[in-house]
Chain A
Amino acid sequence: MSILIDADTTFIVQGITGREAVNLTRECLDYGEGAKIVGGVTPGRKGREVHGVPVFDTVAQAVEHHGAPIDGSVVTVPPAFTKDAVMEALEHGIKLIVIVTERIPRRDVAQMVEKAGYVGARIIGPNCLGIIVPDVVKMGGIGGPARDAAKAYTPGPVGVISRSGGMTTEMSSTLTAAGLGQSTAVSIGGDAIIGSSYAELMGLFEADEQTQAIVIYTEPGGRMEAQLAEWVRENDSRLPIVAFMAGRFMDEMPGMSFGHAGTIVEGKADTAAEKIARLAEAGIVVAEEISQIPDIVKSKIAERSPV
């Protein structure tokens, strides 16, 4: 099985006529069993098609055309219009929203996330590449064109959660090369406030039988790792977690942001060193190099398997 999406998941692409969105639509249609993209929305472009996907002016039109509730939306509209697009999707019953757009002010993100919480919807991102279930379906630009994604991702027991879209693929490819496939890989986004943190996805992986271990990519900035450590302590999780921490050099450069908007050391708890300590305390192994991850995962899975 997988988390968040599967072969039957229907979704729309908001901002589908943008250059990046056109590519992303092609990639998702081509990958695995082919995504069920039931429509696209760009105001004023009703009647067009993008790779055979009908374009509408409003989400309501897309839902009406589909004739049934739509599960998800990939939002690729410019930052100034993202909140509006997400509120529209939520209003029309969409429960899974992947926000690709970057540079959205966090007030907007926080408002979208709070609203989503009230209506029982989930947001992934912003500033993310989406979700991939190897060989089955992908929702977002994750892994790139179908041919490239197929090279890096393969089905298997590891759940991947990453604050970097590119590193989701690098880590999954390393796992794949070592014979370890992925159940689902989620690029959660590099911003200071995001819809779903590690801890907020752990419950789903915990309930997924296919998943036997979790690999996370993490960075300085924010308290998301402390939250994960707390989750691990509070929930007697069956899943071993292996982490990789990038941006250790940033500890010497407080107040500066590198790589992603969310990576800024504002206090002691935000540093790489402090996060590594918190993760280690919770029994999460922090790998020094990505190439070490597969062996650690294999030994952790072996430890937990009933003899």
Chain B
Amino acid sequence: MRFFEYESRQVVKRAGIPVSPHGFATTPEEARRIAEEIAAPVVVKSQVLTGGRMKAGGVKFADTPDEAAAHAEAILQLEINGHMPRGVLVDSRVAVKQEYYAGVVWDGTRKQPVMLFSDMGGIDIEEVAETHPDHVGRRHVSNLLEVSDYQAKEVIASIGVTGSALTRATPILARLARLFVEHDMTLAEINPLAQLEDGSFVAVDAHMDMENEARPRQKALLEELGVGDEETRQAREATPFELAGEEVDAQDHRGVAGNVTEFDGNLGLVIGAGGGSLTLFDAVRAHGGKPANYCEIGGNPSVAKACGLAKLVLQKPGVDKIAVMMSIVSNTRVDIVARGVVKACLELGHDPAEKIAIFRIPGAWEEEGFKILERYGVEYCDRSVSMHEAARRAVESVERPEADRRNQNAGQDVPSEVTQ
């Protein structure tokens, strides 16, 4: 879960790291007041959860409070990469002697946090690491012991920083590492960490990302920052279609039928689960198919949930057919999913044989499931048909002209009671 810059600054500040004088505003008037308080030239920054603010005109410099208010008014209405700003940060323009970088991230291979420090701040650290590796210091810290200041000192000294810069930056990096651990961050970054003309250090910009799984135990911090439970803070705002998917999944606690992501194709997908969904989504695209959505189904959801998900996908504008596919299931029952998707078609007045391009779910209770599908003339297959082959058939079915399809199916009996 990502934090806005103004929240990240607060997180940094409450950990005892100095920050430049600033304030958060949601109106031009508030921006003016903050600029007046700072009583010096300021910079007005859009508060959006996306990059490229500077390029988009979301960062502007102001010499007077009036100018700050005018900039705030413009920036508050400026959409950046599809995001409207939450507000603006009015920040003092500090006289910087040198820009540094301080950061903490996880190393998934070593399975420990790693502290990073560079004397080339203000630019992307990955870029610095590539072009000037000798300007990036790093070291891992134990998960079982408290972070010690000497560890931060070693990182900073390793790139040749000494004197008062070393002694002043050391507690900042150590505190950053402690807050990273304490608050379950996946990224804690101060960039730039500015050394001012008087030798002191302040955080001028900060980025924080907290692990979603830790939100329940970080409630106190989130409340303090005013972050509500309903704020998912994903890389992309959820669409109404995706929110409807969450509702389907929330209707009962049995299994999963949701995690919907919207795409703009014509083939609706009811697929599962974690790795199976990834494989099947790729497979559809590899065969030239255009998925209308991504989703996940697994853990033995109820008929109602499977039905709800299928209905949601079937009703999405532009969807011609749905493909119901999973890797071999052991705890999800094939017959329950079959019943759910057939029911969805019928309730919407569709012929399941027409609307379900293919049903490929092998595994537990498959005989019972296949019987249901047979009754409604739905094309299905077992594990002898690979996931990719099933995806190919689904794509072919949805792309094939209707008349052609009818010819091929001539002679197949569709029970009249479900076609009406």
Contacts and interface: CB of A to CB of B under 8 A. Distances in A.
Interface of A: 23, 79-80, 103-107, 109-111, 113-115, 141, 143-145, 148-149, 152, 162-167, 169-170, 173-174, 177, 190, 192-193, 197, 217, 219, 222-224, 226-227, 244, 246-250, 253-256, 258-263, 267-268, 288-291
A261 B144 contact: no
B275 A169 contact: no
Contacts of A258: 259, 261, 277-278, 281, 294
A71 B328 CA distance: 30
B330 A148 contact: yes
A104 B213 contact: yes
B274 interface: yes
A103 B388 contact: no
Nearest to B272: A166
Nearest to B185: A107
Interface stretch (B7-15, B105-113, B195-203, B408-416): B105-113
A106 B388 CA distance: 33
A113 B144 CA distance: 10
A169 B106 CA distance: 30
Top 5 A-B residue pairs of the complex, sorted by shortest distance between their CB atoms: A144-B330, A164-B275, A255-B235, A247-B278, A246-B278
Most chain A beta-carbon contacts within 10 A, residue among B216, B217, B234, B330: B330
Given A255-B235, A290-B388, 4 more contacts: A105-B217, A109-B111, A113-B111, A256-B235
A115 B144 contact: yes
B332 to A, nearest CB: 9
B213 A249 contact: no
Nearest to A270: B108
A228 to B, nearest CB: 10
B363 interface: yes
Given A105-B214, A143-B330, A193 B383 contact: no
A164 B142 contact: no
A87 to B, nearest CB: 11
B302 interface: no
Interface in B186-232: 186, 211-214, 216-217
Interface residues of B, number: 54
B109 A166 contact: no
B213 A79 contact: yes
Interface in B91-145: 106, 108-109, 111-113, 126, 142-144
Interface string B259-283: 1010000000000111111110111
B381 interface: no
A162 B272 CA distance: 16
Given A177-B384, A217-B275, A258-B278, A80 B217 contact: yes
27 contacts: A104-B213, A105-B217, A106-B211, A110-B112, A141-B330, A143-B330, A144-B331, A144-B364, A148-B330, A165-B274, A166-B326, A166-B329, A167-B275, A167-B327, A170-B327, A170-B387, A173-B328, A249-B281, A250-B278, A253-B235, A255-B235, A258-B259, A259-B274, A259-B278, A259-B296, A261-B213, A290-B388
Interface string B30-73: 00000000000000000000000000000000000000000000
B275 A105 contact: no
A257 B276 CA distance: 14
Nearest to B365: A148
A147 to B, nearest CB: 9
A283 B277 CA distance: 27
Contacts of B363: 144, 148
Contacts of B387: 170, 290
Nearest to B142: A114
B388 A170 contact: no
Contact of A249 (B109, B273, B282, B386): B282
B327 A141 contact: no
Nearest to B145: A114
A13 B214 CA distance: 25
B282 A247 contact: yes
A114 B111 contact: yes
Given A190-B275, A260-B275, A224 B143 contact: no
B286 interface: yes
B184 interface: yes
Given A166-B298, A193-B108, A223-B109, A145 B274 contact: no
A197 B327 contact: no
Contacts of A79: 213
A3 B328 CA distance: 24
B216 A166 contact: no
Most chain B beta-carbon contacts within 10 A, residue among A109, A165, A254: A165
A170 B113 CA distance: 35
Contacts of A223: 108-109
B389 interface: yes
A114 B112 CA distance: 8
Contacts of A110: 106, 111-113, 143
Contacts of A260: 274-275
Contact of B211 (A105, A173, A174, A219): A105
A143 B109 CA distance: 28
Contact of A197 (B109, B212, B213, B331): B109
Nearest to B112: A110
Given A190-B275, A256-B235, A169 B126 contact: no
Contact of B235 (A106, A169, A254, A290): A254
B386 A289 contact: yes
Nearest to B362: A173
Contacts of A290: 279, 386-388
